[in-house]
Amino acid sequence: MFERTFVYFVWVLVDIDLANELKNKMLFERKGYAMFMCFDYENLPQFCKNCNSVGHHEIKCRRYKSNEEEKNEEEKRKSEWES
């Protein structure tokens, strides 16, 4: 005899916080067994983790400041403070 494996799909509508990292799978445990459930996300909107806004990615963020720009501003503030 061979062992049959079944695959089940379920579509669900959920609210998620896009600011958190999305999981691709999660372990579900029940008495006597455990199994991984894999997730696919459909129709995810573009989300910018820089300004926590929906509608664009970080690369197109108007509020994005590079590390170099932040460093320059910090040095400017320090020099103003010292003078």
Interface residues with Zn ion (CB under 5 A)? 48, 50-51, 61
Query: Sign of the CA dihedral 67, 64, 47, 40?
Result: negative
Closest distance of CB 27 from Zn ion, Å: 33
Cβ closest to Zn ion, residue 24 vs residue 52: 52
Using the minimum distance from each CB to Zn ion, give the nearer residue, 57 or 77.
57
In the bound complex, what is the minimum distance in angstroms from residue 23's beta carbon to Zn ion? 23
The phi and psi torsions of 8 (rounded to 5 degrees) equal: -115, 145
E strand spans, 1-83: 25-30, 33-38, 47-48, 53-54
User: How near is the Cβ of 73 to Zn ion at its closest, in Å?
Assistant: 18
Q: Residue 21 or 29: which CB sits closer to Zn ion?
A: 21
What is the rounded distance in angstroms from the CA atom of residue 71 to the CA atom of residue 11? 46
